[in-house]
Structure 1
Amino acid sequence: MVGNRPARLEQWERLRSGAGRIGDQRHRELMQEIMRGLADAVNVPGGYWIAGSDPRAGQHAVVGDWPLDELADILIATDGVSVAVDKYEVLTWTQIAGLCRTEGPEAVLNLVEEADASDPFGRRWPWAKPSDDKALVHLQVTA
């Protein structure tokens, strides 16, 4: 697991404590160490798959299906958006769907950008970089 590796733990502790910041010399050194450590886990069986590095990663996607009558919304989001739910905990998926319905996906992207900007040094939410690219697709299911 990536989060339990010593370099990642040091990086997060430095950011949380205020002893370091995203982009400082030690942060860059730790990122290089982390990336070297990930090389054996990316796009290999038993690891995790990143399509940006290798489009064949899509062949390893986790898929599921639901009865159409149980769906109201379908959300497809990059990790730059999903961080609002699973890391920042400033939105839920239900809230994101609601915002998409009433204000559109751009409203969600703006909220995530605001959250990113509120923690530029990664103290509240330790992160490898101050923000990530964001993409969000919302499909509203109608009968």
Structure 2
Amino acid sequence: MRFTLATSPSTPGGENEDFAAAAPDAAVLLDGAGVEGAKTGCVHGVAWFSGTLGALLLRTLVARPVWSLAECLADSIRITRSLHEDVCDLEYRASPTSTVVAVRACGGELEHLVLGDSSLLLAQRDGSSSVITDRRLDEVGAPLRGPVDELPTGSPEHAAALAEYRDALTSLRNRPGGFWIAGPDPLAAEHALTGTAPLDSLASVTLLSDGATRLVDRFRLASWGEVSALLDSTGPDELIRRTREAEDSDLDGRRWPRGKAHDDATALHLTLS
């Protein structure tokens, strides 16, 4: 495999809460999250959580090839919790969480796991492409988003509506009928979307945080096939550059309502020989 990685924080020079890393036969991408403007209950912060969990997960994927990806994630969540539960309040409503995308090549197949609203783009050798995204957050959040989408992004009124929206989501997090995301409870790993694909059918695989999927799922400026071709030809940097260009053209969110004008954006592109 050949790996190409690009990442960009939402604010130049700001802290990037995304994490991505790769090994010869495995790769992970995590998009850390907290509640905007709220204390997390964790002295380390969201970026520490996503980075620590991501590094542990990649290590476990490689070291435990007979474990399922869900078992690897559950164990990594358990270890991450043990590293800071004595000094951090992990029961606090705004404690750090993270989406997870993980892949591992094993026995002629590509195993995958997706938890939360990050995405996995699979490009087939026949030229077709498909994307795997956990949409449960979007589904439960849609009825609550009205005030957020009606107000100009970045305005005080929008910030207040966004805070209320995110606060409401915490009551739906990691419970039946809500949505699932990696946090302090290893049980969340059992609810990840998992599956396999024959390696010889794939041309490339791309792990994407939701900040890097906006051209398709938020702005409707490209198809997944076009994004796949772009990644192959010019790489993840160009995908993020075009995303920033679109964001900058609509900073108040009037054309494309969204929580943040810009978001952390990360794309890890794996080309299979």
Structure-1-length-normalised TM-score = 0.82
1:131 aligns with 2:268: no
Instruction: Structure 1 unaligned segments of length 5 or more: list them.
Output: 15-20
* Match of residue 91 from structure 1: 222
* Match of residue 172 from structure 2: 41
Q: Of the candidates 211, 220, 226, which is equivalent to residue 80 of structure 1?
A: 211
The answer to whether the 8 A contact 1:43-1:54 is kept is: no
* Match of residue 28 from structure 2: none
1:3 aligns with 2:142: yes
- How many angstroms does 1:124 deviate by? 0.7
The answer to whether the 8 A contact 2:173-2:179 is kept is: yes
SS at match of 1:42: coil
Instruction: Supply the distance in 2 between the matched residues of 1:54 and 1:128 (Cα, whole angstroms).
Output: 25
1:69 aligns with 2:200: yes
Q: Give the aligned length.
A: 133
- Aligned residue runs from structure 1 range 105-124, under 5 A: 105-124=236-255
Q: Which amino acid aligns with 2:240?
A: L
- How many angstroms does 1:59 deviate by? 4.7
Structure in which a larger fraction of residues adopt strand: 2
- How many angstroms does 1:25 deviate by? 2.0
The answer to whether the 8 A contact 2:153-2:252 is kept is: yes
* Match of residue 18 from structure 1: none
Q: Alignment RMSD, CA only?
A: 1.8
The answer to whether the 8 A contact 2:148-2:165 is kept is: no
- How many angstroms does 1:71 deviate by? 1.1
* Structure 1 residues 54 and 78: alpha-carbon distance in aligned structure 2, compared to 1, 3 A threshold: farther
Q: Of the candidates 161, 173, 177, which is equivalent to residue 30 of structure 1?
A: 161
* 1:42-98 deviation per Cα after TM superposition (whole angstroms, max 9, x unaligned): 2334322333x5584455321221112221110110000112111111122222221
- Aligned residue runs from structure 1 range 41-60, under 5 A: 41-51=172-182, 53-54=183-184, 56=186, 57-60=188-191
Structure in which a larger fraction of residues adopt helix: 1
